Structure 1
């Protein structure tokens, strides 16, 4: 992504327009030394975390993560994604955020937009199967939530409409498009273009059993030095009532966000709608409500009023890309994480932090990203801020590479405890899944406790998405708070499931609860010893 995800030089991300946006960071001291660890030391949370987003971004544009290259046959594509899902589960993730509309194209048989070139190498060429259907099913079989990641306005990574397939909507409606910075975009100020983009995305929301709709930080494009986005004509045509073009641009983006929120909830009420914006809303030097930073501002540069969306309740979650180390003078993680925590305080908007695992151990990155401890420092600070409900990591190939062991160290320090996924306040209600039936016996060879779990209710009932397995050292009471319960595992659901607990003490009790796709947890099963 970056979703904006680009810095100059060593970045593995292709969206090079981000270079201009972040140039101020590089010029102002990206090689700044890490602040004293004691300045941001974090004590363990007072109470164990029970729910947490642990999300993995999987980018498709220019084949960053999946498919690894164009032209793979469908068997190879399926195998690659299944491996990614298996790895994500093993790494401790509970949700995948997969880019399925990177450049006004589709990873499903869309009636509105062509097949993505990142599948076959040729835009419009059928890959021979339905990748989105396969990916959703693959994730869900493993108990992983699937969030569909869309880029609303970007049409092409190059600026020539003639390079698109002849029937591409951007060629059929050139009045909807703008060339800027070497790329092609739908103009956010053209109402017909906005409505088309919404319908193109909603086609996937209607047809596939996705768990969320996810936007990244691309609204109006990142500014190109010495060149303004060429929408004077659009402003003249559609800007009635606005004397300030910047305010009109923000209103255009607001309309996209609010209307998509409403449409997603109408089409798929249980799906989450959220955005991962650039990590700085505004600097305090510009706006007293802003952060103590001196970086690029999404409110002014991208016309994205990210804080306003939170205040108005338009999002289920916000996941700012706080891609900088603790102590960076112009954009200090130690400043921005608390600022975002304050921004969501008292609202129903979940806060997850976008983490730049791609910087860990990468050539050219400053010293804090080279010692294999920066992500651990981030999550230690997060643990002191109860408003932060988890993290998203960019991106899958960098988690796999883990060049200096940063991700592995973070997992060891902060993900040792099993958790359920987040349950936003809006969805905390409705029917709960039935308690399952559980049997347990000791494996004579390994000594492990073997739990055999069968879904409660008739076969016509919804099959549990996950099972939460609790172990008790004493006889359980009426709820998990009694009897010293600990959540020892969260496993994929199904009509039947088996779990081996190799750490079971000589005598203990178990109870299992079913968890639905929304992450509502049902009543516990009858305890078994």
Structure 2
């Protein structure tokens, strides 16, 4: 049980490698480097577009509003689902236009949503993570799925053209993860996007082999006999190997095309239960990544198949069957010393709801305490919130809390030094002048092509403080031209300030600061 001590929440450490207790700080501790993102689901029009068939301008206005809201609450990345069901939010050789755009699968929406979304995210200096679902062909068909359901798909649908790739399971159709041509098809479809669009990362979530249906085995025996039985004595190891190879090959294909594009996965929050494997987490999850979804996250982390992992820790602190605090501690040990960032999937959608029969999510401090606890670990690199529409609803004031407290200060996306560790040259701030609407800075880049954006630091008085102090970072601004202008509208008009600016590349390596410059009165 947790204990309250001195206004802070004291939690026992659950790591075998550590016996110290962890204290949730009473006051918010800000990190200078922290990925902050929201998932934007397009499947079933969960987040965007709000419904199919909207006019182009309405679709664009909806997405821009989301980005503006998220930027205002301190986010620096967006995770957008661009291939929800073997379809596409862009013209593709590997999928038809998504029905969630127009209401009709295969119908051209009249513009390229992916190009538009990437451009708008970068205007706001937010990373764009392109979210793919590799195997799902349909959502619920309302009845047990059959191969004959392929006839309901567009005649040009890749699944209809390749019925030997398809497996019905439950009420859905899936591409067979064990079919070599399916694996290559998935890889090629991702590389198409990496080649043609200026994305920052490729993202997958927890849908690999489908969640098990009680008493219904996944019907891939024919594929196992054809492709796996000669090498694997059981179907479970073969399935894990299929997923491992897919993850490894996707990463290699991305890096071959564009080494700076990151690859991350957001798996279910439990790898294995301790009752099954002593190195697993102290949880009682009904299904797990390793044993049921065949997603061996440990192998991906240990072998460098991914650049980040974002486990979906969708439980509250202290929940007996899956304690957020225990799982957070377990995942930090998994990534310790590895070339992989740990982002935590935050269950914003559960706030102000009853979950697992308990009312912990009625506590307005549940999510703030989770974020505060995250920040006590050196291995923690950021959070991803599910989802955009839930942040918009502001349950129990969480969005207000992010904006005014937890994400009050902007943050830089942490660099991945194993991808690139060469920082740009320091920029020059040639002018800092007081104007009626704020303080205007003129920034000159020494190497325009190496600089993706600038970080703006402001210090009170006539001396420059530390750029490592998160409280001194006031903004980031995209590098749009060699002589960039930034207007600081948050400074007090009568104040005395010193500014310094750093240049960052697209993998977030930060230069040394510019020479400090004082405000000049006009």
* Residue of structure 2 equivalent to 1:234: 223
Residue 459 of structure 2 corresponds to residue 472 of structure 1: yes
* Residue of structure 2 equivalent to 1:488: 474
Q: CA deviation at 1:347?
A: 0.7
1:59-458 to structure 2, matched below 5 A, reads 59-157=41-139, 158=141, 159=145, 160-239=149-228, 240-295=230-285, 296-362=287-353, 366-430=358-422, 432-443=424-435, 448=438, 450-457=439-446
Q: CA deviation at 1:327?
A: 0.9
Taking the aligned partners of 1:299 and 1:438, their CA distance within structure 2 comes to 56
CA deviation string 1:495-517 (max 9, x = no partner): 22322243357322111122222
Residue aligned with 2:88, SS = coil
Q: CA deviation at 1:112?
A: 2.3
Unaligned runs of 5+ in 1: 1-32
Would you say the 8 A contact 1:433–1:516 is kept in 2? no
Taking the aligned partners of 1:122 and 1:103, their CA distance within structure 2 comes to 13
> Taking structure 1 as the reference length, what is the TM-score of the superposition?
0.88
Residue aligned with 2:517, SS = coil
Aligned with 1:499 (options 463, 471, 487): 487
Q: CA deviation at 1:453?
A: 2.6
Would you say the 8 A contact 1:213–1:273 is kept in 2? yes
Residue aligned with 2:503, SS = strand
Would you say the 8 A contact 2:391–2:398 is kept in 1? no
Q: CA deviation at 1:418?
A: 2.6
Taking the aligned partners of 1:259 and 1:151, their CA distance within structure 2 comes to 16
Residue aligned with 2:224, SS = helix
**CA RMSD after TM alignment:** 2.4
* Residue of structure 2 equivalent to 1:27: none
Taking the aligned partners of 2:352 and 2:30, their CA distance within structure 1 comes to 31
Would you say the 8 A contact 1:52–1:389 is kept in 2? yes
Q: CA deviation at 1:241?
A: 1.1
Equivalenced residue count is 491
Distance 1:126 1:90, change over 3 A: same
CA deviation string 1:455-477 (max 9, x = no partner): 4247xx32843321112346557
Q: CA deviation at 1:262?
A: 0.4
Taking the aligned partners of 2:373 and 2:292, their CA distance within structure 1 comes to 28
Single out whichever of 428-437 and 154-163 deviates more from structure 2.
428-437
Taking the aligned partners of 2:471 and 2:398, their CA distance within structure 1 comes to 31
Q: CA deviation at 1:177?
A: 0.6
Unaligned runs of 5+ in 2: 12-22
Q: CA deviation at 1:284?
A: 0.8
Residue aligned with 1:254, SS = helix
Distance 1:433 1:44, change over 3 A: farther
Taking the aligned partners of 2:2 and 2:223, their CA distance within structure 1 comes to 46
Would you say the 8 A contact 2:392–2:399 is kept in 1? no
Would you say the 8 A contact 1:357–1:395 is kept in 2? yes
1:38-77 to structure 2, matched below 5 A, reads 38-40=9-11, 41-43=23-25, 49-77=31-59
Taking the aligned partners of 2:27 and 2:376, their CA distance within structure 1 comes to 6
Taking the aligned partners of 1:312 and 1:56, their CA distance within structure 2 comes to 27
Would you say the 8 A contact 1:67–1:80 is kept in 2? yes
Q: CA deviation at 1:137?
A: 0.5
Single out whichever of 257-266 and 34-43 deviates more from structure 2.
34-43
